[in-house]
Amino acid sequence: MSFQRVLVIGYVWPEPTSSAAGGHMMQLLQCFTTQGWHVTFASPARVGEHKADLAALGIAERAIELNDDSFDRFVAELQPDMVLFDRFMMEEQFGWRVEQHCPQAVRVLETCDLQSLRDARQGLLKQRLHASDDENDFSALFAEAPDTLYAHMSDADITQREVAAIFRCDLSLMISPFETQLLTERFGVPASLLHDCPLMVEPPATAALTFEQRAHFVCIGNFRHAPNWDAVLWLKQQVWPRIRKQLPRAQLHVHGAYTPPKATALHNPAQGFLVKGWAVDALQVVGQARVALAPLRFGAGIKGKLLDAMLCGTPSVTTPTGAEGMRTGERWPGRIGHSADELAQAAVELYENADQWQAAHEQCHEHLGAQYATEPHAQALILRLQQLSQSLAQHRRANFTGSMLRHHLHKSTKYFSQWIQSKNQSV
């Protein structure tokens, strides 16, 4: 079977210049359109200020409503061969409607990252901060084993919702090998329901700037993303003062989409801490910096800011959480630290030592070609989808847990959604 019509239901409209999630969605859309498939992107979200021009790529756009049977008429008329849900919330909201009107459509979940893992780590960080006034060393937090993570995740509502959506779909796209392993080994998700699909990029056409041509540090990330805001706060309060003590003339340029007043309030030229807001061209900004800083104390998935650093040949300093899904093994293109002291010292050494910087710079390009090249990952994804469509009945028969969850949860979701619709219409 060859897909002719593909429907993507987005949690938000894609903004590739604002987040890694938006970039990954655009990469998936590119994979589909390259095959000649007719793609429709639908979303109940408001249009953001940095939304991609999908129409220019030949992708149809459709605004849809939550808890409204207008979607039923839309999807019944479209009759897609495949539906991709952007994050589990969209599968919860629209999955039963898709199954009711397009039962033979392949249902795919774009996880982006495991939000339940990110939430669990945020909770662990809050516990750690509540239990200790030490905001320097977080070695114990970064060393949490999968069994410990599972213990914190398993009872949470968001985990049960997210894992249930993974079981209900025919295939879920995973960007982090660690998360795939966590799902299969701790949550019992069959490997047949998961597909490894990281960010897919091509190296820049222009040569990267040299050590001598670069200056200052950079930190970049969407401020609406909680791990990014926490990282900026830790930078401001703990990491950056340690760097400035050794490099009193250095500057840190902080960029991010949707910069809130609480972030701009951190701007302090006297301290070299410059909050510059959204970067029109993230690669240009990161490519001019000598070192990228990403002191993430919690999070999940692949970090787009660290992949951008690799694309620019910019060595980066991050934590084990930041490096976790990045597929580099022990050869990190920069340094990894467990404390504010370690991060600051690593940043200073990379900034001042041309030999260390050059070695990390070269590793950036090695990892790009080996782990993130577009063509092999795009081909593998298309092949997996085509194979799935050819054996869909058998695939679903083997996934009894998914069938059972669809039977029960979709009915409850269906009736709750219909109740909301009826309530809205009576007002």
Predicted confidence at residue 386, as pLDDT, reads: 96
Residues 83 and 12 in one domain: yes
Question: Given pLDDT bands bounded at 50, 70 and 90, which one contains residue 423?
Answer: low
Within 10 Å of residue 120's Cβ, how many Cβ atoms? Answer: 24
Task: Using the 3D structure, point to which of 372, 392, 413 is the last residue of a domain.
Answer: 372
Q: Is 397 exposed, middle or buried (0-12, 13-18, 19+ CB in 10 A)?
A: exposed
Question: Given pLDDT bands bounded at 50, 70 and 90, which one contains residue 407?
Answer: confident
Q: Is residue 133 scored above 80 in pLDDT?
A: yes
Predicted confidence at residue 9, as pLDDT, reads: 98
Predicted confidence at residue 275, as pLDDT, reads: 96
pLDDT higher at 50 or 317: 317
Q: Is residue 140 scored above 60 in pLDDT?
A: yes
Q: Is residue 419 scored above 80 in pLDDT?
A: no
Mean pLDDT, the chain, rounded, equals 93
Residues 363 and 389 in one domain: no
Residue 296 lies in a domain: yes
Residues 106 and 88 in one domain: yes
Question: Given pLDDT bands bounded at 50, 70 and 90, which one contains residue 426?
Answer: low
Q: Is residue 408 scored above 90 in pLDDT?
A: no
Residue 391 lies in a domain: yes
**Residue 179: which residues within 8 A CB-CB, separation 6 or more?**
111, 113, 114, 117, 300, 301, 325
Q: Is residue 422 scored above 80 in pLDDT?
A: no
Residues 269 and 293 in one domain: yes
Predicted confidence at residue 308, as pLDDT, reads: 94
Q: Is residue 413 scored above 80 in pLDDT?
A: no
Q: Is residue 255 scored above 80 in pLDDT?
A: yes
Question: Has this prediction a pTM greater than 0.75?
Answer: yes
Residues 189, 400: Cα–Cα separation, whole Å = 12
Residues 165 and 270 in one domain: no
Residues 253 and 368 in one domain: yes
165 contacts 95 by C-beta, under 8 angstroms:
yes
Within 10 Å of residue 328's Cβ, how many Cβ atoms? Answer: 19
Residue 314 lies in a domain: yes
Residues 243 and 384 in one domain: no
41 contacts 60 by C-beta, under 8 angstroms:
yes
Residues 231 and 320 in one domain: yes
Predicted confidence at residue 414, as pLDDT, reads: 65
Residue 205 lies in a domain: no
Report the pLDDT averaged over residues 250-275. Answer: 95
Residue 135 lies in a domain: yes
DSSP β-bridge partners for residue 171: 108
Residues 343 and 389 in one domain: no
Lowest mean pLDDT among 119-128, 199-208, 348-357: 199-208
Token pair listed for 409: 């949860």
Report the pLDDT averaged over residues 198-226. Answer: 92
Residue 264 lies in a domain: yes
For position 300, which CATH number holds?
A: 3.40.50.2000
Residues 55 and 185 in one domain: yes
The residue segments making up the domain with residue 93 are: 5-118+126-200+375-426
Residue 208 lies in a domain: no
Report the pLDDT averaged over residues 95-122. Answer: 96
Residue 148 lies in a domain: yes
Predicted confidence at residue 424, as pLDDT, reads: 72
Residues 296 and 364 in one domain: yes
pLDDT higher at 202 or 197: 197
Residues 359, 377: Cα–Cα separation, whole Å = 27
| b/e sequence 10-31, b meaning 16+ C-beta within 10 Å | bbbbbbbbbbbbbbbbbbbbbb
Q: What percent of the chain has pLDDT over 70?
A: 96
Q: What percent of the chain has pLDDT over 90?
A: 84
Question: Given pLDDT bands bounded at 50, 70 and 90, which one contains residue 409?
Answer: low
- Report the number of secondary-structure helices (H) and strands (E) in the chain: 19, 13
Q: Is residue 109 scored above 80 in pLDDT?
A: yes
Predicted confidence at residue 243, as pLDDT, reads: 98
Residues 111 and 183 in one domain: yes
Number of separate domains in the chain: 2
Question: Given pLDDT bands bounded at 50, 70 and 90, which one contains residue 330?
Answer: confident
| b/e sequence 399-427, b meaning 16+ C-beta within 10 Å | beebeebbeebbeebeeebeeebeeeeee
Interval 351-366: pLDDT, tens = 999 999 999 999 999 8
176 contacts 110 by C-beta, under 8 angstroms:
no
